[in-house]
Structure 1
């Protein structure tokens, strides 16, 4: 498959592989020619897109037919929405405006961390301590302006397709439950599946899955200022429990990418029962705050991009109003050559 598969496709003219041509996740786990549980080489040895290749399993014209109500939603937070930073290594940018004449303005940004708020994690973002980066890429080559696994490949694709909103918060509230965001509650795969069943939602090959935990609503409306400040120190966030069954579910459904309204899609930090602790973690050689996280397997092994801090509240409310949880989504990362991640610039059309 070429680095940029034909994305403007129709039902009658698809240059794609059949869904059954791809191995199932259990076959990936049994690999001895690549890291177990990896998709390395499945999309080609020089692949730059990972599971975004699955977008070609869907008909873009069919995805466009999900736009019925004629409403559009930005899924991006304002630049001042997250304070203080949720990651200790990221700082708010400094916005500078200057003028050449009284009737002219220009600007620049200092200290611009591309993964500060609403973002998409690219394939350079996380490597696996035991196996390295996606498709065996050499991380020492990840320099500004270099090609391998740069975020600019996502922009050139481009990313557009059918998305399904899994409103976990809405489902739990409908049955008298809730998520404990103050404690950083892990969410089970069974809860995600129950949410989709409750909504009557079906995941199709090539879909983008948008998971709403209600975390952003809690951050903005219900939490104390002290709780928000302590997030950086304590680093605890509601999200999906680290679970190999979840990886199997995502891969075998041929999900193109996932995004959520929380910090990392998965709960943070990884639970002590996570199956994703690397050998370096178990031996105590590495003192890594990423120990046990699912990012390593999602991004580095499967090649699945992750969207974080997506603002899904208004979109989910609109979905609940008419009982239809599908939409057309476009994602336009900044075309930074060699970029690690980017603001998502995501829009949902219904």
Structure 2
């Protein structure tokens, strides 16, 4: 699994064209979530056996650091002394510039443009403005309930984590399927565990924007062929440094802008890894319910895996 061959811009554009699904669905701004039918939901419910529910969202992070350059906000607005009548109330305010490396969030289709185009070929400058997105907003997605697959690469390799900069190639995805006894198939959500947060707990934080384990672009055609609905991980799915010249987040471009596949970034997959190992299976039902933000390019989110 070592090595990260460079990919030229011309080669990348050929991959983009090969995995593109523009014109495939209506409504287009739900993208690959259109793949998930009631039958997919029923299939997912059949994976619930123990009833163990595992939340995947990180704690709300208000502390600045090398992996959190835009801390979230949390402060109290009522300490029980605003209204004199009973009962007393306590209120607070939260906010976040969530598209970063510290907040668990979902990227909607309005979040990523490549060569000036959002998913389905929409012109980004026309579709997204100061008031938000008129196409591809998170409000168009709604909730998702489907089969989830955990590709637990450290478990496959017998290591605590993948080192930053470690590429995950198509052959590694296929090997993980065989080792874990899972199948990535149509309408499913694929979660890639690199062990980022175990490494962080044991060795401390680092600049994950500069170096992180993630998918090499050669893995994306395999995921496109399997017709997935959602991609996520404990990083942001992208390998960093990027193997593609002039494209800092190539997996974002391929998944969101070409394939119409929303992304889940910065999930804490450590408890899910332990639960899957204990259950002896790496497939489960996953529930993702982003905030209903009209015009939003994404949303903080706390997905739940149910075994």
Which TM-score band (shorter chain)? 0.7 to 0.9
C-alpha spacing 1:163/1:81, structure 2 compared with 1 (3 Å): farther
Are the aligned partners of 1:29 and 1:38 in contact in 2 as well (CA < 8 Å)?
no
In the TM superposition, residue 86 of structure 1 has moved relative to its aligned partner by 3.2
Deviation at 1:85, TM superposition (A): 5.8
- Structure 2 alignment gaps of length 5 or more: 1-12
> Which residue number corresponds to residue 222 of structure 2?
249
Q: Contact (CA 8 Å) 1:216, 1:309: kept in 2 or not?
A: no
Q: Distance in 1 between matches of 2:237 and 2:62?
A: 18
Aligned to 2:21: 39
Aligned to 1:48, what secondary structure does the other structure show?
A: helix
2:202 equivalent in structure 1:
222
Deviation at 1:308, TM superposition (A): 1.2
Q: Deviations over 1:39-82 (max 9, x none)?
A: 110114x5111111221284312210111012101001101287
Residue 240 of structure 1 contacts residue 267 of structure 1 at CA under 8 Å; is this kept in 2? yes
Does the 8 Å contact 1:122/1:151 carry over to 2? yes
Aligned to 1:98: 77
- Structure 1: tracts of 5 or more residues without a match: 1-27, 282-289
For 1:135-150, what aligned pairs fall within 5 Å after superposition? Answer: 135-140=120-125, 141-143=127-129, 144=131, 146-150=133-137
**2:213: which partner in 1?**
238
CA distance 1:59–1:87, change in 2 (3 Å): same
Maintained 8 Å contact 2:15/2:221: no
Alpha-carbon offset, residue 258 of structure 1: 0.9
C-alpha displacement of 1:124: 1.2
Instruction: Please name the residue that 1:210 is paired with.
Output: 191
8 Å contact kept, 2:119–2:256 = yes
Paired residue for 1:285?
A: none
1: distance between equivalents of 2:207 and 2:274? 27
Alpha-carbon contact 1:122-1:149 (below 8 Å) kept? yes
Q: Counterpart of 1:259 in 2: which secondary structure?
A: strand
| Higher fraction of strand | 2
TM-score by length of 1: 0.74
Aligned residue among 197, 204, 217 for 2:178? 197
96-105 or 250-259: which moved more?
96-105
Distance 1:106 1:328 in 2: 33
TM-score (norm 2): 0.84
Secondary structure of the structure 2 residue equivalent to 1:324: coil
Q: 1:126 deviation in Å? A: 1.2
Question: CA separation in 2, counterparts of 1:30 and 1:202?
Answer: 23
Q: What SS does the aligned partner of 2:28 have?
A: coil
- Alignment RMSD, CA only? 2.5
> Does residue 1:319 correspond to 2:283, yes or no?
no
Number of aligned residue pairs: 285
Instruction: Check the 8 A contact 2:55/2:305 in 1, yes or no.
Output: yes
